Chain A
Amino acid sequence: MRRTRLTRLALGEAGASPWRNWPLALGVALGVACLVYFLSLASGVEELLRKRVVGSLPNRIKVQPSSFSVGPLALQSSINQTTVDKLRALPGVTAAYRQARLPQPCQLYASYGGQSVVTDMIVEGVDPGLVSSQVASGRSFAPTPSEPYTAVFPLAAVEIVNAGISIHTGLPTLTPEAIVGRHFELLVGTSSFSPGQSVRRRCVIVGVSDQIAVSGPALPLEVVEQWEGKPLTYYSVTLEVDTPERVEAVAAAVEELGLVTPGLEMARRIATGVIWARIALVGFAAAILLIAGVGISTGLSLQVREEARFIGLYRAVGATQNDIRWIYLARAGALGLVGSLAGLLLGLVGGYLTQWAVAHFGPSGVLLNDRLFAPTALILVSGLSFGVLGCLLAGAYPARQAARLSPVEALRTG
């Protein structure tokens, strides 16, 4: 009640001469804006890297055989069905999706933007569950008895086409949505390096996935094994884990089986890298806030000196030392709140502008549907509290100075 009144008194005075106080909030706004901008950018970049390296599905582990090098010889082993069964049996694992390469050479024929495209590819067969969540709605990815065969295209290949071919040829940018439903033909058994007898297979694209290899389209494993005429061995198995928290434990069990999880390791490296980047950026924003805080502290100190006469008057008509302290803390807090809110707005606007600029003027196809700027509630709340608490801290000294003024001395300064 009394505090409410004192706050009104304090803010009324700040409001009476706004140009004196509000410039002090500018530094806070800048500091908070930097904090929000950098942290949101960092989490956007982390998300983006993680998606590119590990894939967009968080509770999955890509398992690969470990490779040994013996002198000049690099031995790459593969995973057989027995190992797949062992992996399926690990606690926490709900599914294991196999990936195998079709050993025969292969060429892809497609018509793209009115031009024919021919390119060598490596076709792989995957368990449908690996990509089922990324298949376009209304389509299915399953073995078909006859042509066209359903195929999924690697997301990275779309990006490579966009970044490389489209730029030089002026062909339209590919989007995942635009290529679904398109047909292409595979010449199985031939390539530009080893021409040979080939069989023509017609396929239809039913989805774009970041879970498969970048070297070519993926078809249902059953179909590919049929083409080959015999079961294949697997170069990679992707495990689905019931909860993301169990991923690390499952990864440890996988390593015990003599297999490796390269994506997970890369993810760990990205996470540490981003943490250091975050620390550096927060430090930078904190430095700005520190300077802003010093500005507020000296600004309020100056006001305390200029307003000494009124502080003396307030004391004479009944203000306690605590009341006076509150008045100046309230001013500091109000500056912090206004500054921080302005900073949040500034940071968000700046971030979305950056994202828009990268999407429009950056290398084409870099972002597709991803966010570069990913503000979270936590970032916004910590930006706000960082600004407000910083200002209260900065106001503590002048407030104490004001409270300690002797009323008689203060009145004499008039």
Chain B
Amino acid sequence: MDQPLIELTGATLEYAARARAVDAVDLTVPTGQFLAVVGPSGSGKTSLLNLIGGLERPTSGSVRVSDLELSRSDDRQLSAYRSSKIGFVFQSFHLHPSRTALENTSIPLYFTSTPMAEGLARCRELLQRLGLAGLEDRSVSQLSGGQRQRVAIARALVNRPPILLADEPIGHLDGETASVVLELLSELHKSEQVTMVVVTHDMSILNVAERTVEMAGGRLIR
């Protein structure tokens, strides 16, 4: 059995003394797994994703991804890690409303050394695969919620990250759009061997996920 891709040991994230958003979590995720995280609001799900994605360093304990110990990495290392290993899909998209779909998708390229032409070609290909062909040059403010979430997913995939972290990716979407996005995620998981950590309440995602963990009060309870 090869070594797990993501390994949290006693990982703790404290915002204020005694208020632990993540409390001594032990969690291992093997390469290629589709992991769902559930739990009530405020239980620390987003904080857990932030730890894995290197947006926060644990207050104590360790977060290791491949061979990189995130708790001991500096800003440059963490940024390079986020750029090359992680794709984030946020609950609230975080798209630039006045920019086009293509421009939004290409943002991660600015922080890499991928040749721009090659990167842009990849952006177009992704938008096409996500069913947004013909909408590349449309401003994001003129796209529907489902189309926006697909732009956000394309943006997360531009740098071919081995890990995709998604926070309530279909929370804002209506049933039909939600199932399109979900189908897309599971297809990506299958075709590209992307390791997925998805925060959700949604039963349809839980059905697709290979494993589900539950959080409460910052702890992993199941």
Contacts and interface: CB of A to CB of B under 8 A. Distances in A.
A313 B107 contact: yes
A80 interface: no
A318 B94 contact: no
Given A6-B110, A408-B56, A414-B94, A316 B99 contact: no
B123 to A, nearest CB: 13
Given A2-B113, A6-B110, A315 B98 contact: no
Contacts of A407: 55
A407 B78 CA distance: 12
A309 interface: yes
Interface stretch (B30-38, B80-88, B178-186, B195-203): B80-88
B82 A411 contact: no
A407 B90 CA distance: 13
Nearest to B77: A320
Given A315-B55, A411-B94, A320 B110 contact: no
A378 interface: no
A303 to B, nearest CB: 14
Contact of A16 (B56, B99, B107, B113): B99
B108 A318 contact: yes
B128 interface: no
Interface in B83-131: 83-84, 88, 90, 92, 94, 96, 98-99, 107-113, 116
A408 B50 CA distance: 8
Nearest to A307: B96
A323 interface: yes
Interface residues of B, number: 28
B50 to A, nearest CB: 5
Contacts of A312: 94
A115 interface: no
A401 to B, nearest CB: 16
B159 interface: yes
B18 interface: no
B75 interface: yes
A411 B90 contact: yes
B82 A17 contact: no
B53 interface: yes
B222 interface: no
A321 interface: yes
A168 interface: no
Contacts of B50: 408
A320 B76 contact: yes
A414 B50 CA distance: 16
DSSP class of A's interface residues: helix, strand, loop or mixed?
Answer: helix
Contacts of B76: 320
A317 interface: yes
Contacts of B28: none
Contacts of A320: 75-76, 79, 111
Interface residues of A, number: 25
A221 B79 CA distance: 86
B85 to A, nearest CB: 10
B107 to A, nearest CB: 6
A9 B110 contact: yes
Contact of A319 (B79, B92, B116, B155): B79
Contacts of B98: 16-17
Contacts of A17: 98
Interface string A293-317: 0000000000000000110111111
Given A17-B98, A411-B94, A317 B88 contact: yes
A323 B110 CA distance: 10
**Residue among B56, B84, B98, B107 facing the most chain A CB atoms (10 A cut-off):** B107
Nearest to A316: B88
Nearest to B152: A313
Nearest to B90: A411
Given A318-B83, A408-B55, A1 B108 contact: no
Contact of B82 (A2, A309, A317): A317
A321 B75 contact: yes
A43 B50 CA distance: 62
B83 A317 contact: yes
A323 B75 CA distance: 11
Given A5-B111, A313-B107, A411-B90, 16 more contacts: A1-B113, A5-B109, A16-B99, A309-B94, A310-B96, A317-B83, A317-B155, A317-B159, A318-B79, A318-B80, A318-B82, A318-B111, A318-B159, A320-B75, A323-B111, A408-B56
* 8 A-B pairs with least C-beta separation: A318-B83, A318-B111, A317-B108, A320-B79, A313-B94, A9-B110, A5-B110, A407-B55
Interface of B: 50, 53, 55-56, 75-76, 79-80, 82-84, 88, 90, 92, 94, 96, 98-99, 107-113, 116, 155, 159
10 contacts: A1-B113, A9-B107, A16-B99, A315-B55, A315-B79, A316-B55, A317-B82, A318-B108, A318-B112, A411-B94
